[in-house]
Structure 1
Amino acid sequence: MSIRFHRDPAVTPELRDGVCALWADVSNAGGAVGFVPPVTREDIRPELVKHLAAMAEGRARLIVGQDASGTPLATAFVYANTHRLMRHWLWVYSVMVHPSLQGQGVGRELMAAVEDAARDTEGIRGLRLTCRGGTGADRFYGSCGYKEVGRVPDAIKVADDDYRDDITMWREVA
């Protein structure tokens, strides 16, 4: 399947609903993107609206991978850092690849598109993201050139008896 990556697409109802569906699919497949399954699209929608509002305000960008019909199958939101001493790096949030495409290189293509967007942004020297421990996401990001730069033990509670580390990863892009 051919996936094309786009930066800053027009947010149409179809794109909005497609990203919401993707987020629910990834979450329900066990993806660590801010929720614990089971979730519905309605559970996801308020978080998506926050990202869309940030895009409308110019604080965030969307990188989306779509198939030929325009269905979103991979996404990442890239945020400008607003702290005056940290404007030289960007935050990366909600990195998702549809479960049916995981392990096929789409995640690497998505992260390359994120890096390209960062390189095309004047003054940006790095990317920072966090991921949930115990999922293997840190190994994936490591294979994409990110380095672990911090870890907070048991900072993420996914169940009454299941706490995970919050891992901070960094990649230079300059």
Structure 2
Amino acid sequence: MIDGCDDHLMTDRAPLQMRQITRPQQIGDDLTREPIDCWVTAGNAGGAVGFPFPPVTAAEVAPVAEQLIAGLDDMRGRLVLAMADGVLAGRLNIRRDPHPLVAHWGTLHHVQSHPAYRGRGVGTALMRHARRVARDEMGLEQLHLAARSGMGLEEFYGRLGYKEIGRRQGAYRLGPGDDRDEVLMAPAPL
């Protein structure tokens, strides 16, 4: 399913459009390469994107991206892409756990904007769009995410209505003496 974005965010270069990928078959080579490139570029620019030790390469990211793509499904997993003039500006993944006890909750994974588009509202537009998709299309009642402390992410998500609901102290070890907390966050119910 591909759709437009209600936000119609304008970057310096072009209006931002949102696309959803809900099935692996919707991913062509271009849509496989661009998210991998974004992931590599964001990680190597110091982003908290799941690969904490730059430099990261496309060869390292590709198997993780392939696994993410393989899990796409209308109701269990969606890839949301923010496009600016046909170029990937950011992305995130919405996943639902199929277990009936928690199937009403969704998790946001791999929220990232391409470094070339940082500071232009791409992350905010992605998060707002994800909330609508989760509620209106996936029937989710709640979202949550985990963020790495020390990156300013708590403040970013806080501005979007997310509150800390838990913390695993020292969960991430980036180097000797550089342990970071995993901060669990959720907004008000959808």
TM-score (norm 2): 0.85
Q: What residue number does 2:65 align with?
A: 48
Partner of 1:3: 16
**2:94 & 2:156 partners in 1: Cα distance?**
18
Partners of 2:187 and 2:73 in 1: CA distance? 26
Q: Which residue of 1 aligns with 2:10?
A: none
* Deviating more after overlay: 26-35 vs 116-125: 116-125
Amino acid corresponding to residue 107 of structure 2 in structure 1: W
For structure 1, the 5+ residue unaligned runs are: none
- SS of the residue corresponding to residue 187 of structure 2 reads strand
8 A Cα contact 2:74 2:138, kept in partner? no
Question: Counterparts in 2 of 1:82-97, with a 5 A limit?
Answer: 82-97=98-113
Offset of residue 112 of structure 1: 0.7
In structure 1, distance between residues paired with 2:58 and 2:159: 31
> Which one is further off, 162-171 or 79-88?
79-88
SS in 1 for 2:158: helix
What is the letter of the counterpart of residue 164 of structure 1? Answer: R
Matching residue of 1:138 = 154
Q: C-alpha offsets along residues 110-155 of structure 1, whole Å, 9 cap, x if unaligned? A: 1011011012135411111000000001110111111110001100
Equivalent residue for 1:73, pick from 79, 89, 93: 89
Distance 1:132 1:19 in 2: 21
**Counterpart selection for 1:25 from 20, 24, 41:** 41
Give the conservation status (yes or no) of the 8 Å contact 2:89–2:122: no
Provide the rounded CA distance (Å) in 1 between the counterparts of 2:74 and 2:106: 16
SS in 2 for 1:172: coil
Does the Cα contact within 8 Å between 1:15 and 1:71 map onto a contact in 2? no
1:99 to 1:152, Cα distance in 2 relative to 1, 3 A = same
Count, aligned residues:
173
Q: Measure, in 1, the Cα distance between the counterparts of 2:74 and 2:104.
A: 19
Structure 2: gaps (5+ residues): 1-12
The alignment's TM-score, normalised by the length of structure 1, stands at 0.93
Distance 1:122 1:154 in 2: 33
Letter in 2 for 1:7: Q
Runs of 4+ in 1 over 4 A off after TM superposition: none
Cα RMSD of the aligned pairs, angstroms, is: 1.6
Contact 2:80 2:130 in 1 (8 A): yes
Deviation string 1:54-104 (CA, Å, 9 cap, x unpaired) is 116963101101122x32211000001222111111010000101122122
Query: Could you tell me how far apart the structure 1 residues matched to 2:139 and 2:188 are?
Result: 12
CA contact (8 A) 1:74 1:107 kept: yes
Show the counterpart of 1:64: 81
| 2:171 is aligned with 1:158 | no
Say if 1:119 and 1:3 are closer, same or farther in 2 by CA, change over 3 A: same
Instruction: Indicate which of 28, 41, 44 corresponds to 1:12.
Output: 28
Alignment pair present for 1:107 and 2:123: yes
